[in-house]
Amino acid sequence: MSETVKVGIVGIGNMGSAHAKSIFSGNIKGMELAAVCDIAESKRLWADENLPGVPCYEDYKEMIDSGVCDTVIVATPHYFHSPIAIYAFEKGKNVLTEKPAGVYTKQVEEMNAAAKKSGKVFGIMYNQRTNPKFQKMREIVQSGELGELKRCIWIITNWYRTQAYYDSGTWRATWAGEGGGVLLNQCPHQLDLWQWIFGMPNRVMGHCKYGHWHNIEVEDEVTAYAEYPNGATGAFITTTGECPGTNRLEITGDKGKLVWEEGKLTWWKLAVPEREFCVTCKEGFAQPEMTVTEVETDNIELGHNGILQNFTNAILYGEELLAPGYEGINGLNISNAIHLSDWTGKPQAVPVDGELFLKYLNERRATSHVKEEKEDSGKIADLSGTYNDRWKVR
């Protein structure tokens, strides 16, 4: 087996250019930037200037068929994640896709099937799984130290975006171009972490507001309620129209509570499980004794480079994936269920009814207005090529 993963990146916009620069700079041991691809001339010109010697393609099929790469990173608008990944799998390539896995579960099921058939390594850019605080929360919950789970509440309302942000791309905030709003663009990481740490709900009720704070087609405010097989409940509140906003994850179990906020993880431990204390205590207003500690972690958050390195190691040495691509459908199932619940006015089972969701989505796509692309011939795109604070958990 080769000791180098030769990667081709499809889509070199904000995220694709960041991945390209990081790999090109040698940040990922064992990974080589073999090619890039974009349909926009301005972005190809950016690549010629910033990635000297790296072949640049306009057609992703041509890049994949050329044999220049054995691995593909998909960093395009959402609807194209699945079809590009499927083509790459059919050609025997490993694939790492950006989030979300897709717009609707039906297309992601097809992508997962293609990945399984190919036998190749399949990852997804859930870089926030590298955050040691979230890893610790998962460890505590999964180990049973928090006891029987009762509630999970995530308030993430600090995704503030201006109208200029939504006007910056022709595909942004449209049903036809993006397929959703804050749930599909900003929140896939949180929806993934929610289920990764706390588990998948079996029923969801969602309420969305569309173009409430901005001149857009899709949702920019969401409140969702979830139910779990053991009787636990969850709430998820998000928006792009609130400032300064909050980012707080709270998980409660029979033995205590975990709260993550402002990068700090606090753990309340009950001396006696709440259910036991409730039925044995003879005082009406008593509470179990408890200790409160701030949980420290030694590791640092490796972010995007951590996922890229782990993905490379999985290909070369069989290292276990931190973010398997197959798991991308989990958060999407929650997102689709929230939308479908709002559209139908009824709670939705999880996994979601993929055919029904697609029916309602297609109705919105049929009347969607994607702005016409204005490509400046000969102009080099203005791309950062770096992982800046825009992608950090704030």
pLDDT for position 172: 87
Which helix (H) or strand (E) segment is 154 a member of?
A: strand 149-156
Are 84 and 147 within one domain?
no
**Is residue 372 in some structural domain?**
no
End-to-end CA distance of the chain: 40
Report how far residue 46's alpha carbon sits from residue 56's, in angstroms, rounded to the nearest whole number.
10
- Ordered DSSP codes for 319-332: PPPSSBGGGHHHHH
Which burial class, exposed, middle or buried, applies to 30 when counting CB atoms under 10 A from its CB (0-12, 13-18, 19+)?
middle
Q: Are residues 102 and 154 in the same domain?
A: no
In a domain, 139, yes or no: yes
Q: Looking at the structure, do residues 216 and 249 belong to the same domain, yes or no?
A: yes
Angle, helix 132-143 to helix 188-198, in steps of 10 degrees: 30
For residues 278 and 266, membership in a common domain is answered with yes
Distance of CA 340 to the CA centre of its chain: 19
Range of the domain at 306: 5-127+302-324
Residue-level pLDDT at 391 = 42
What is the distance between the alpha carbons of residues 82 and 60, in angstroms, rounded to a whole number? 13
Q: Are residues 210 and 349 in the same domain?
A: yes
Amino acid occupying residue 89: F
Total structural domains within the chain: 2
Q: List the pLDDT tens digit at each of the 394 positions of the chain.
A: 568 999 999 999 989 999 999 999 999 999 999 999 999 999 999 999 999 999 999 999 999 999 999 999 999 999 999 999 999 999 999 999 999 999 999 999 999 999 999 999 999 999 999 999 999 999 999 999 999 999 999 999 999 999 999 998 788 899 999 999 999 999 999 999 999 999 999 999 999 999 999 999 999 999 999 999 999 999 999 999 999 999 999 999 999 999 999 999 999 999 999 999 999 999 999 999 999 999 999 878 899 999 999 999 999 999 999 999 999 999 999 999 999 999 999 999 999 999 999 999 999 999 998 766 555 566 776 666 566 554 454 4
Tell me which residue of 140, 182, 131, 188 sits closest to 161, measured CA to CA.
Answer: 182
Q: Answer yes or no: is 309 within a domain.
A: yes
Residue 169 domain flag: yes
Same domain membership, residue 307 and residue 291: no
| Domain assignment present for 392 | no
Residue 243 maps to a domain: yes
- Which pLDDT value is given to residue 379? 72
Give yes or no: residues 117 and 245 share one domain. Answer: no
338 and 191, same structural domain? yes
Q: Is 393 within a domain?
A: no
On whether both 179 and 292 belong to a single domain, the answer is yes
Tell me the CATH number at 342.
Answer: 3.30.360.10
Contact 74, 49 (CB under 8 A): no
| In a shared domain, residues 174 and 191 | yes
Query: Would you state the pLDDT for residue 299?
Result: 78
Angle at 266 between CA 144 and CA 156, to 5 degrees: 95
State the pLDDT at residue 393: 46
Token digits for 5? 């993963």
Q: Are 214 and 220 in contact (CB under 8 A)?
A: yes
Q: Are residues 123 and 234 in the same domain?
A: no
Same domain, yes or no, for 198 and 306?
Answer: no
Is residue 394, in this structure, part of any structural domain at all?
no
In DSSP terms, which residues pair with 224 in a beta bridge? 206, 236
Identify the CATH number of the domain in which residue 110 sits: 3.40.50.720
Q: In what order do the strands lie in the sheet with 5-10?
A: 56-57, 31-37, 5-10, 71-74, 94-97, 122-124
